Homo-oligomer: A and B are copies of this chain.
Amino acid sequence: MTPQDRTVGATRGRGRPKDPEAGRAILRAGLELFVERGFEGTSMEQIAKRAGVGKLTVYRRWSSKEELLSRAIEMMVEEPGWPSNDEIRVASPHEILERILPASAEMAVDPRFRALVARILGSSVSHPSLMATYWKHYVAPRRAATSALLENARRDRKVPVDADVDVLMDMMAGAVLYRVLQPNPPDAREMERYLREVYRVAGLLP
């Protein structure tokens, strides 16, 4: 145990985070460093340093960098305004998308979102657990909602009966990810136009 670790465990009022906050500070520091430097450019030492705790405090909670970053991604993924099951039942896909489009466009062009998604895709082959966590906690709930929208659009004959819903969802999400990582990323206004066109091709907007 380093002297720093003891300080964090105790309550000396020096402004260092106490235990529950230390956990969040470590995850926040891990996510920041992952976004800035990538998986291989980040070390447990750097994470401890940025979080203002000792290395042992970090290792006591997470035995590996992959585990720590996976938890950090899990903590980060929350996005208000996504349609509830009730809303999907009563409103048309068109109405729902018109409501969430501006916020979705803002989020897609947010530099932090771009950078985090780039890093997760970048480590998807070397460290697949990060992508798996992102998929489970972020992508899967959104795909469930989008799938329900596509089913409704199919019932209304806006989407062909024989369309493969998984492929359609990949085309929508893939286009957005690919677009924001291209040279010359769009601004929010251009992204909103872009999203409309994507949803139109998929049959979700007229």
Interface, chain A (partner B; CB < 8 A):
36-42, 111, 114-115, 118-119, 121-126, 128, 131-132, 135, 163-164, 167-168, 170-179, 181-183, 194, 197-198, 201-202
Residues of B within 8 A of A39 (CB): 38, 41
Given contacts A41-B41, A131-B183, A174-B176, 17 further A-B contacts (CB under 8 A): A38-B126, A40-B40, A111-B125, A121-B122, A122-B122, A124-B182, A125-B181, A164-B197, A167-B175, A168-B201, A171-B171, A171-B172, A171-B174, A171-B175, A171-B201, A174-B174, A174-B177
CA distance A201 to B167 in the complex (A): 9
Instruction: Say how many copies of this protein the assembly contains.
Output: 2
CA distance A181 to B167 in the complex (A): 14
Contact check: which of B38, B122, B175, B197 meets A174 at CB < 8 Å?
A: B175
If over half of A's interface residues share one DSSP class (helix, strand or loop), that class is named, otherwise mixed; here it is helix
Could you tell me if A128 and B38 are in contact, using CB atoms closer than 8 angstroms? no
B175/A128 in contact, CB under 8 A: no
> Please, which residues of chain B bring their CB within 8 A of the CB of A124?
118, 181-182
Inside 8 A of A42's CB, which chain B residues have their CB?
A: 40
Partner of A126, one of B36, B128, B177, B194: B36
